[in-house]
């Protein structure tokens, strides 16, 4: 087998030597994430998996994908690209991590705008904040996505957490009997009154915020396709539709 060449982007790459004595470095037959775990504290670190690159193992913590040397001493945070196939191996892993996390969130806990076609062509997951101007602009174009056969699923993500300007409004939306109608009111595409955000479902807003942080959401709107591909920020529907359907 030919060796796989790796490209580590300078803009994304950081390499840290974990400051431990050599005698503390784990042997290859034990958990090589031990030093990383001790450095990160409470962060959950996944079991290291072999990569196509000899002597390099992949792990993850939070929303970050990282690579460890076989002795567990050095960690590389960045993108691994196979130059022979031009495949970004890190991006594929990142999508899988995001998809698995998002799929655990029950659809019954979301605000859903179904496809207007008989058969749903695709699903678009959107982390949104009612106080975000570009979230409102994207929401105005949701009917165009629905006409194209795309089902839009909204996840609550108040910027700034429980101190964010949209936190209370999102709780009100999630307490509405019809969340889609409530979202229309919150995004000012419809007129009406929202209920108090004091119901049991208001807790979903906090869960949505935690999930967003888990999958690397740093601003809204943050979009994820069915396979976990992340699309940052507002994209006009004319450009967004082919990105979701392809």
Q: Is the domain of 145 the same as that of 51?
A: no
Residue 38 lies in a domain: yes
Instruction: Taking each helix axis as running N to C, give the angle between helix 203-214 and helix 89-103, from 0 to 180 degrees, rounded to the nearest 10.
Output: 170
**Stretch 26-35: mean pLDDT, rounded?**
70
Q: What is the CATH number of the domain that holds 15?
A: 3.10.450.70
**Stretch 46-73: mean pLDDT, rounded?**
91
Give this prediction's pTM.
0.82
Q: What is the pLDDT of residue 7?
A: 42
The domain in which residue 207 lies consists of 103-245
Q: How far apart are CA 38 and CA 175, in angstroms?
A: 41
Q: Is the domain of 11 the same as that of 87?
A: yes
Q: Is the domain of 176 the same as that of 56?
A: no
Q: Is the domain of 189 the same as that of 125?
A: yes
Q: What is the pLDDT of residue 1?
A: 43
Q: Is the domain of 69 the same as that of 174?
A: no
- Local confidence band at 136 (pLDDT 50, 70, 90 cut-offs): very high
pLDDT tops 70 at residue 24: no
- pLDDT tens column, 137-193: 999 999 999 999 999 999 999 999 999 999 999 999 999 999 999 999 999 999 999
Residue 139 lies in a domain: yes
Q: Is the domain of 147 the same as that of 213?
A: yes
SS3 assignment, position 19? coil
pLDDT tops 80 at residue 14: no
Cβ burial, residue 205 (10 Å; 0-12/13-18/19+):
buried
Q: Which residues contact 183 (CB under 8 A, 6 or more apart)?
A: 111, 113, 130, 139, 154, 173
Q: What is the CATH number of the domain that holds 132?
A: 3.40.30.10
**Stretch 43-58: mean pLDDT, rounded?**
92
The DSSP symbol for 240 reads H
- pLDDT tens column, 108-119: 999 999 999 999
Q: What is the pLDDT of residue 4?
A: 42
Q: Is the domain of 113 the same as that of 87?
A: no
**Stretch 90-111: mean pLDDT, rounded?**
95
Residue 117 lies in a domain: yes
Q: Is the domain of 37 the same as that of 70?
A: yes
Going across the sheet that includes 74-77, the strands are 14-17, 74-77, 64-69, 56-61, 49-50
Q: Is the domain of 170 the same as that of 146?
A: yes
Residue 30 lies in a domain: yes
Residue 97 lies in a domain: no
């Amino acid at each position: 087998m030919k060796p796989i060449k790796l490209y580590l982007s300078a803009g994304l790459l950081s390499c840290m030597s974990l400051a431990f004595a050599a005698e503390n470095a784990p042997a290859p037959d034990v958990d090589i994430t031990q030093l990383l775990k001790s450095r990160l504290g409470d962060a959950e670190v996944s079991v290291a998996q072999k990569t196509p690159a000899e002597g390099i193992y992949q792990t993850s913590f939070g929303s970050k994908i990282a690579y460890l040397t076989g002795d567990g001493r050095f960690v590389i945070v960045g993108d691994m690209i196979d130059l022979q196939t031009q495949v970004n191996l890190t991006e594929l892993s990142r999508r899988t991590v995001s998809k698995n996390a998002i799929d655990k969130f029950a659809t019954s806990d979301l605000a859903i705008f179904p496809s207007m076609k008989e058969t749903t062509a695709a699903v678009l997951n959107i982390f949104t904040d009612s106080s975000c101007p570009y979230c409102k602009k994207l929401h105005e174009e949701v009917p165009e996505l629905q006409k194209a056969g795309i089902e839009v699923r909204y996840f609550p993500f108040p910027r700034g957490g429980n101190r964010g300007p949209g936190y209370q409004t999102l709780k009100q939306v999630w307490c509405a009997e019809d969340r889609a109608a409530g979202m229309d009111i919150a995004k000012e595409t419809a007129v009406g009154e929202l209920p108090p955000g004091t119901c049991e479902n208001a807790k979903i807003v906090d869960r949505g915020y935690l999930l967003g942080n888990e999958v690397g959401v740093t601003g809204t709107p943050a979009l994820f396709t069915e396979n976990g591909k992340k699309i940052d920020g507002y994209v006009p529907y004319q450009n967004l539709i082919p990105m979701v359907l392809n």
